[in-house]
Amino acid sequence: MPALVKSNMLIAQSGGPTVVINQSLVGATLEAKKHRQIRTILGARFGVKGILAEDFVNLGRESAATLAAVANTPSAALGSVRKKPSSEDCTKIFEVLRTYEVRYFFYIGGNDSAETAHIISTEAAKAGYELNCFHIPKTIDNDLRENDHCPGYGSAARFVALAIMGDNLDSRALPGVKIDVIMGRRAGFLTAAAALAQCYPDDGPHLIYCPERPFDMNRFLDDVKGVYEKLGRCLVAVSEGISDVNKTPIVSAFIKESDSFGNIQLSGTGALGDLLADQVRSKLNISRVRADTFGYLQRSFPTVVSAVDAREARAVGAVAVRTALKQGGSGSIVIRRKPGRGYAVRFECVPLELVARATREMPESFLNAEGNGVTKAFLDYVRPLVGPLPKMARLRGVPLR
Amino acid sequence: MPALVKSNMLIAQSGGPTVVINQSLVGATLEAKKHRQIRTILGARFGVKGILAEDFVNLGRESAATLAAVANTPSAALGSVRKKPSSEDCTKIFEVLRTYEVRYFFYIGGNDSAETAHIISTEAAKAGYELNCFHIPKTIDNDLRENDHCPGYGSAARFVALAIMGDNLDSRALPGVKIDVIMGRRAGFLTAAAALAQCYPDDGPHLIYCPERPFDMNRFLDDVKGVYEKLGRCLVAVSEGISDVNKTPIVSAFIKESDSFGNIQLSGTGALGDLLADQVRSKLNISRVRADTFGYLQRSFPTVVSAVDAREARAVGAVAVRTALKQGGSGSIVIRRKPGRGYAVRFECVPLELVARATREMPESFLNAEGNGVTKAFLDYVRPLVGPLPKMARLRGVPLR
């Protein structure tokens, strides 16, 4: 039901930041400024927490220069939150929205944020509060259903590809076993992007482990041994979320007693990398074994941005506002890839419940049969999202006559 | 003693790679090609190991295009090594050099590599083998004596500054305590560069700990508590090499029994970050605490290069060859900063023993009295080495009237 009278809109950011999440914020803000149906553009600080606390800023009063600069700045400019609103929260939220005359609500985030939007939309209908409620996609994990890919992924994948390129050269200069732990709790898209680093046939990553396939420590050790014996080194890319056949994360399966890590968290700790390195060192008797956990740099590193990703992140914000004004109601903006030779996408709007909560995993066709690498189908899928990568050069290595 | 007859030169790379170490290799190669005194330009693969194994390539036969591309590729294109030659190694080395008619030897690396050059130079004199022997500086640690700064440092410092910029924004969006562990065993220059990330007064890093000052766990916890109570978050940059008053690395002082980490190494493990995070979590009762260890990305990440650093790395290679041909003998090329307002440097050659082995630490004037931050003097020192950094923007945050 398109709102015919002027009303205010509210936008907020939620979940883990990305380097392009502000593109979506700015895309939505600039689009809203074009439409007379929108009077004031409120930004809530720290997601739903800011709505509950009436912690708002007036985005319509930001200068074009500030918006342009913020769009190019990583992480959520409004602040973020991980909070699922309760029924009482919703009651309070609608009170606040009523006070501020908000009839359009946009929430930028991943599947948890889509769920929040879905809850708010459903509860608003129950409460008889007329609210147009839209989810704007964002996640470096690339795990939103209904989407070909998600804003934030291309840039994070670019970071991973560059990092692995550099680390491959490092390991080539000082050979050994190197293990790089990459974000991704249930979906391996980001870890799989490490494969883009390969310029020469013997370049790493030599092994890639994603959460979609059960991780077996002995098979992993065999794999590493095989590569090491062949090349004299081995570079491994592994998802933080790798789990055994019982879906127990490896990091928690192996680190049990005398656990000094508090709650087992997957990011922001080097535990998994150290565990795998320790296994390689002790079981394979290889002396030079190192592990790095890429951590939060993957989602926040300035200057490493995929141009396609930035453009699409901007677009989904604008599309959300146009869709809300045109058709009203609720929904999640999704990215679909157009069939054909060149890379092109179209944006659609799907019901919130199709995107909320659930995660999308990598399709079978993207992972090799051995479960330790990716396929050409994945590389074809990911390349246009990441953009052109620099070439890493080698000496020709001309022998002495 | 300038060699008047034609002879061959040998160049090799050693120690931890940097993103500009190949600039020095290419700088030396291109310079050598200009001089008729040099006949063949041999590159040894994997440092002195390659000399012993006669594993050589003919650098003079690489195309200009390959050399240009290699110069812009991170990590040691010839391969690297960490090996101190014994007397027997030296005897074998001189046999090989004699066979290949090498009278000019260039070794690119840090203080260990300068020591290798010094050993080879001294042993050559003892053995009566006429050899001109030069060290070309390289280290992200910036800890070579006699140098204002070292090639490789500016680019690594740039990586650290950008990473902390992004991480500061991440921590601003999802507040908590964040600890970032940065390379540097005995010198804190690289960790200190985190200070460049600060754009606004409340930006992180809020605390910086370098190995030059003894690290006290209780004072650290007090510092974190103070910042957290004031700002609701705290971003810490800490050197991997921080040690207690007895010079025992913190990572080994605290991780004793049931140690699953094998040899205590400082890089390539998340142990120190996890340890500090655990202390903050348990002692200060703060729930959201994360640690990242930047690891090998700091020294190998493609595209994050300081233009000044790349230029100077190229220059020291060329200067080494010119110096060797002009004055002969032995020495280490050093960078001195010219006094005056603008940034300018001059290159000199000093005796190898002044640079070999020993490390340079940060001067007192670069660290604050509390031992948890840097001074303006340090920022003035480091800025020209890193080059212009992007501005991180904030919303003005206009209140709703």
CB B233 within 8 A of CB B177: yes
Over its C-alpha atoms, chain A yields an Rg (Å, rounded) of 23
Mutate to test the interface with B, among A168, A279, A400, A401 (most CBs of B within 10 A): A400
Give the model's pLDDT for residue B254: 64
pLDDT tens-digit series, residues A111-157: 999 999 999 999 999 999 999 999 999 999 999 999 999 999 999 99
Give the model's pLDDT for residue B3: 44
Give the model's pLDDT for residue A326: 97
Mean pLDDT of B364-382: 97
For the cut 60, the answer to whether the pLDDT of residue B240 exceeds it is yes
This model of the complex carries an ipTM of: 0.95
CB B100 within 8 A of CB B72: no
Which among A80, A398, A400 has CB closest to B174? Answer: A80
For the cut 50, the answer to whether the pLDDT of residue B189 exceeds it is yes
Mean pLDDT of B36-64: 97
Q: Is A171 left (phi over 0), alpha (psi -120 to 50) or beta?
A: alpha
The minimum CA-CA distance between B340 and chain A, rounded to whole Å, is 32
Q: Which residues of A touch B61 (CB under 8 A)?
A: 396, 398
The minimum CA-CA distance between B9 and chain A, rounded to whole Å, is 13
Closest B-chain CA to A401: B58
Give the model's pLDDT for residue A1: 45
Single-letter amino acid, residue A80: S
Containing H/E element for A28? helix A21-33
Q: Test B390 with A17 for CB contact under 8 angstroms.
A: no
The torsion angles phi and psi of B108, rounded to 5 degrees, stand at: -95, 125
For the cut 60, the answer to whether the pLDDT of residue B264 exceeds it is no
Sequence length of chain B is 401
Query: Cα separation of A52 and A50, whole Å?
Result: 5
Q: Which residues, including other chains, have CB under 8 Å from residue B82's CB and lie 6 or more apart?
A: A174, B14, B15, B112
A141 a catalytic residue? yes
**Angstrom distances, CA of residue A350 to CA of A255, A335, B66, B157:** 42, 10, 51, 45
Q: Which residues of B touch A81 (CB under 8 A)?
A: 174
CB B131 within 8 A of CB B105: yes
The torsion angles phi and psi of B178, rounded to 5 degrees, stand at: -125, 130
Query: Cα separation of B168 and B175, whole Å?
Result: 10
Which among A73, A291, A393 has CB closest to B66? Answer: A393
Give the model's pLDDT for residue B262: 40
**CB under 8 A, 24+ apart: contacts of A344-349:** A345/A148, A345/A312, A347/A315, A347/A316, A347/A319, A349/A134, A349/A319, A349/A323
Q: DSSP letter for A287, please.
A: S
pLDDT classification of B390: cutoffs 50, 70, 90: very high
pLDDT tens-digit series, residues A209-248: 999 999 999 999 999 999 999 999 999 999 999 999 999 9
CB A189 within 8 A of CB A155: no
Question: Closest Cα partner for B62 from B90, B95, B87, B40?
Answer: B40
Question: Closest Cα partner for A225 from A210, A215, A237, A236?
Answer: A236
**Which positions of chain A have pLDDT values less than 50?**
1-4, 256-263
Q: Which residues of B touch A290 (CB under 8 A)?
A: 265, 267-269, 295-296
